[in-house]
Amino acid sequence: MTENPYLTELQTTAKHLTQRGKGILAADESTGTIGKRLAILSLENTPETRRALREMLVCAPGNDEAYSGMILFQETLYQTDSSGKPFVSILKEKNILPGIKVDTGLKPVPESPGETTTDGLEDLSNRCASYYAQGARFAKWRAALRIDVNRGLPSDSVVHENARELATYAATAQSEGLLPIVEPEILIDGTHGQEVSAAVAERVISAVYDALREQNVPVELTLLKPMMIMPGVSSEERKNVTPDIVAVETLRVMKKVVPEQVPGIMFLSGGMSEEEATKNLNALNILAEKEKAPWSLSFSFGRALQHSAMKIWNGDKNNLEEAMQMASEVARANGRAQLGKFEGKHPSSGSESLYEGFRGWRGGAPKAV
């Protein structure tokens, strides 16, 4: 095998993204997904509204204390702040690495109604090369797996197909100089308990590392982005789950299936409230230090870093300063949680659940069969 010409840069990127006390903001919502969140604020989903929202998140003073990277949607990678300065240049000055979502969304699996794989492998290598040229240094690909105990979901074939796609994407991204974040999200939707979540996560994440090995992807040049191990959102257990319970089970599963060579596990927030996501990450890091976990455990949250700030902003320039302050405070709370040092009152506006049914499924939840 010939050596990857980007090897040293990929190593530096991995180190940068997993530095202590920092994590990643996932601000890479597709136009459809962000449109649903803007609609809640009665805002129109236009390129300018999206640009203004992303300006609030990119330019928030002090966010660089907590962010090592920011994942952008393709449109944002080429946008500028209101004075015409490219977002990519602003991020570079803040020492926040720009990342890019490279998948193009979920697609249904005809043979297994209600399950999905992910689109975007076509032309991926050319797109990665263009994103690198524009300043991106890491990438994200999201697979979404759904638990339905009665139907035996996720099905083995869909687990394996998603794992194969994630590995093909990771190899392609690496060969174009982008450090791949490998995201097999197990959706929080469902009535299953935590034990089922753990068993499914073991199955899914093991399949991902098998596929990476089969495709000769060096895992030390990848990051994993999983959901924490929690009961389904509609289960009885959900009400009683505590950060310590989540931390114990999440760490147990990760230790079982994630190779030591992986530099970082950057969790998604998946519908947890802002406060819950921070507290769970904090508990995880306290436990990980005690148990000497081999990887950095951090955040790559979307909703749990944006919700309160977005509400304050509400599309109005006059609210920008206050919204930016909230965005940075929530970011810094998570930076402290990465160190296991978050305490006191959470800066967000409350413990409101950020659950969205079957996120990313076009047209809402899949029909039951």
**Closer residue to ligand 13P in complex, CB, 6/74:** 74
Supply the minimum distance, in Å, between the C-beta of residue 118 and ligand 13P: 11
Stretch that binds ligand 13P, among 2-10, 30-38, 207-215, 301-309 (CB under 6 A): 301-309
Q: Is 92 labeled as catalytic in the residue annotation?
A: no
Separation CA 198–CA 250 (nearest Å): 8
Q: What is the DSSP letter of 99?
A: E
**Closer residue to ligand 13P in complex, CB, 301/313:** 301
**Closer residue to ligand 13P in complex, CB, 25/159:** 25
Stretch that binds ligand 13P, among 36-44, 152-160, 266-274, 327-335 (CB under 6 A): 266-274
Separation CA 26–CA 330 (nearest Å): 14
Separation CA 200–CA 223 (nearest Å): 20
Q: Which of 53, 91, 16 is nearest to 302 (CA)?
A: 53
Footprint (CB under 6 A) of ligand 13P, residues 23-52: 26
67 binds ligand 13P (CB under 6 A): no
279 binds ligand 13P (CB under 6 A): no
Supply the minimum distance, in Å, between the C-beta of residue 319 and ligand 13P: 22
Separation CA 96–CA 25 (nearest Å): 10
342 binds ligand 13P (CB under 6 A): no
268 binds ligand 13P (CB under 6 A): yes
Tokens representing residue 57 in the block: 């998140």
Q: Is 225 labeled as catalytic in the residue annotation?
A: yes
Separation CA 328–CA 59 (nearest Å): 10
269 binds ligand 13P (CB under 6 A): yes
Q: How far is CA 159 from CA 46, 162, 213, 256, 324, in A?
A: 35, 5, 16, 18, 39
Q: What are the backbone dihedrals phi and psi of residue 200, each rounded to the nearest 5 degrees, phi first? A: -65, -40
- Residue in 73, 301, 313, 361 binding ligand 13P, rule: CB under 6 A: 301
Instruction: Count the neighbouring beta carbons within 10 Å of the beta carbon of residue 166.
Output: 29
Residues annotated as catalytic are: 183, 225
Residues at the contact surface with ligand 13P, assessed by CB under 6 A: 26, 142, 183, 268-270, 301-304
